[in-house]
Structure 1
Amino acid sequence: MEITIKINGRMVSVEVSDEVAECYDQGRRKAENLSHEKRRHWDGREFDEYIAATEGLLPYQPTPEDIVCQQEILALLLSILDTCTEIQRERFLLYALYGYSYAEIGMLCGCSKVSAFESIETVRKNS
């Protein structure tokens, strides 16, 4: 199916599958409906409430307790990482923060998959 989209201010025809065309059309209709609804509401707050009700998403507002818990977890994590070697810290962060697999960490660090696993498990046991 062929659809027309705007790229850098130019209209371009693109051949896509039926599923992609349907998703594109649904998104276009949803944006159009929201635009119409926004024009109906001159009060911005009322429109925000409409979006929250229809989309079911409210902005995340952490409570003071959440903030304190996050700070405590961060302090604990940093203290654990301070007890590790530089190699263990690097491998653990690649695994925990960036989601690399043991094999990928092994390739990046020039070690075996087992060495990457053992380094990460050592950090976990320190906690």
Structure 2
Amino acid sequence: MEITINYYGQAVSVSVEVYEYLTQADHKAENLAHEQRRHWDGRECDEYIISTEGRLSYCATPEELVCQRETLDEILAVLALCTPTQRERFLLYALYDFSYAEIAEMCGCSKYAVRDSIVAVRKIFQTFFRK
């Protein structure tokens, strides 16, 4: 099936597939122009275009990787100061989002003991990072 469209001032007969492709391209161009107007910082707009178009994945800079590694090392150093029980309860709470009652059931203790362990780990973190 052929469709006649006005393309740059001329009547052109195209197939349905070509028409759909051109329509989709026009919509993408409109969306990108809108995003460019929305963002005053060109870098934000470029990140938006890259993420929506899916051409490049995000890659951390070497500085970001070093900072992430340093932060991870600090967290592991603090967790090394905790007892194994405190560490287990804190990770279940912080990483896996279990409630005090759920952790108490898994560990076979009261939820108050779980709370005390988590509070102790938090205090260790606070004293470690104040130094």
Using the size of structure 1 for normalisation, the TM-score is: 0.54
Structure 1, residues 50-99: CA drift from partner, whole Å, max 9, x if none? xx468376622111121111111111111111111110010011111111
Identify the residue that residue 66 of structure 1 maps to in structure 2: 64
The 1:87/1:53 distance shift into structure 2, 3 A limit, reads closer
Q: For the pair shown, which has the larger CA radius of gyration, 1 or 2?
A: 2
Task: Find out whether 1:55 has 2:48 as its counterpart.
Answer: no
Offset at residue 112 of structure 1 (A): 1.2
Distance 1:86 1:54 in 2: 41
Give the aligned length. Answer: 82
Identify the residue that residue 85 of structure 2 maps to in structure 1: 87
Identify the residue that residue 31 of structure 1 maps to in structure 2: none
SS at match of 1:100: coil
- 1:112 maps to which of 105, 110, 113: 110
Q: Which runs of 5+ in 2 are unaligned?
A: 1-19, 25-45, 126-131
Identity %: 50
Identify the residue that residue 77 of structure 1 maps to in structure 2: 75
Structure 1, residues 3-56: CA drift from partner, whole Å, max 9, x if none? xxxxxxxxxxxxxxxxxxxxxxxxxxxxxxxxx76xx9xxxxxxxx9xx46837
After superposition, residues 37-48 of structure 1 pair within 5 angstroms as none
Distance 1:56 1:114 in 2: 50
Q: Which runs of 5+ in 1 are unaligned?
A: 1-35, 41-48
- 1:98 maps to which of 75, 96, 103: 96
Distance 2:50 2:81 in 1: 48
Offset at residue 113 of structure 1 (A): 1.2
Using the size of structure 2 for normalisation, the TM-score is: 0.53
